[in-house]
Structure 1
Amino acid sequence: MNSHIRFDAREGALHLLDQRKLPEVEADVVCVTPDDVIAALKTMVVRGAPAIGVTAAFGCALAARGAASEDAEAGRRRLEVDLDRIAEARPTAVNLRWAVERMRRAWREAESGGPLPLTEVAALFEREALALQWEDEALCRRLGRHGAALLHDGDTVLTHCNAGALATAGYGTALGVIRAAVEGGKHISVIADETRPFLQGARLTAWELARDGIPVTVACDNACAHLMSRGMVQAVVVGADRIAANGDTANKIGTLGVAILAGHFQVPFYVAAPLSTIDAATPDGAHIPIEERPAEEVTHMGARRITPQGVPVYNFAFDVTPAALISGIITEAGVLRAPYGEAIAKALGASGERQ
């Protein structure tokens, strides 16, 4: 599935499947300006680090189209500002800024011989965003094949949040591992943590896997210890929004608790993410910015309030799992093992990813 992010060059619009309405309603949000894309990112119309990056790249293309309507100097100033605004839409997922910087780099390289008309910059950004989208799905498939080798026929895999096709350009990271194992003939079942408060596991992971015919059962987040204690989980595979240079990993809030339980019950805990999610400039998890989201996501279930009026809540969107709790980081370049600092530096150096 890769139709959840669709760019229509003829009408100059980005169509995003509104993940807030799944599984009940499949409807698109149509973005025609960078403001539309920023709003879609902030309100979680689209989420998941790789998908955020692809969406941001198309947002850059829309920004260039808008800037092309002004005179050259003013348009270039406006485009620079819009690119900064897109890059800052959400703080934790490193793919967002990475994608915007990729657009900027392509722009600089194209103008090495002199300034281009902004209409040509817009066309360049569209080509680059489409290439990024294609590359992301292809690398997820490679990542999936590497990870599939870690799973055994008959395993039940627990996931937390959604790291599937909806969180990427298509196929998925954590769910890509599961899909690849199933495509390879293994019988794999999945337990999807519901993932409060946004319910990405209950709404999105279960929706994806059910559509693919992969057995999936939804469990309350606080059932994880019970499930592992009864031997009902053979492996945990999660995605990531940012991986620090030492392997510490930021993922959806609650992932740290799952990792601690997996360590206690001796269940392998794997992180699946492309190399673009590794931020070599961030030395460790203590330096990863953690997004705090609106209180209403916790205080309300839909339009209905479920907490007393006036009682404050914590709504941290992510937590950080220390590298010591991670059994392996599954990437398109293979499975990285501890010591992660050395493995990450080697993988990034070999791939040419940012250092």
Structure 2
Amino acid sequence: MSATSLFSSVAVGGVDVRNRVWVAPMCQYSCLARDGHPTAWHRVHYGAFATGGFGLVVTEATSVVPEGRISPEDAGIWSDEHVDSWRPVVEFAHEHDTRIVMQLAHAGRKASTHSDLSGRTGTVEAAEGGWETVGPSVGSFGSLAPCRALGVDEVRAMPSLFAEGARRAVLAGFDGVEIHAAHGYLLHEFLSPLINHRDDEYGGDLEGRSRLLREVVAAVRAVLPAGAALLLRISATDWADGGWDPDQSVELVQMLADAGVDLVDVSSGGAVEHQEIPVGPRYQVGLAGRIRRATDIPTGAVGLITDPRDAQDILDEGESDVVLLGRAALREPRWPLRASRELDVDGSALFPAQYRRAVLRPGR
């Protein structure tokens, strides 16, 4: 790639994205009415990234069913009423030439928890608006309340729920969706042998443990219009002995090679508490690179990517096709503008017209 590849356009499926600096999904826990509807907070939050020069934004985990929320304050897309709530968020992003995709999620056994904003931890009790959680097998994450195992008919119904969420996202104007199969949430729970102890068609070997995710991908792809982007977020490793690992991740993505996944957003961890994650700059980048080279499917790298030159190097080294920023984007919603200056790229096109007077030029 060229020295300015961070700001070169990229096609994701049929979606043209103006640059390769994207915003990773980050929960906001701010649907205060507990009904899954985004609020003014979300319009400002996502709007800041659109005016800040990011090429694409992935929304926070947005649940396809009420009981799939991580917390009662999480976002939702389980009813047609949510479509109109999300539409202003999408329209504002598009006004500023930023693409936006919705992350479709189900938190599984990690649902019904107190949010980070509440100052409390643990499971939300029923009296406070909590609910029974579900997973592939009976069990719990740490000190959270144990979940019940989904019946086989409930599992078979799950792909249609994700597909309905995708259909509604398209009606709201989103450029596509990302299926959340990472961080110990439901689809990742089915993948991980540390969590999935089923002895039916959805358990056992990799073929069985990946069946639900493959069915979800197929169902979602089937309802997306031609040209809409389909992203998949995975945890490439559980960082725990006997768990999901990079070899299985490569095999999974190879299974999905013809399923219509346009890009794999490569994260890691979250399945079990006894994980040992070597957190540091670029600690997940090699996982994205390995999948990219082994499968020829584009990947996104995420995790402690904060320096513009480092982000550029990741692309130039062939480790990923795009980079996704999380906390760095929260700290600096106009990170791409600073990056353009540090990489000596004309950043004027990243500014809204109202801000053009602030274009950073040498010596000013």
Q: TM-score, length-normalised on structure 1?
A: 0.28
Q: TM-score, length-normalised on structure 2?
A: 0.27
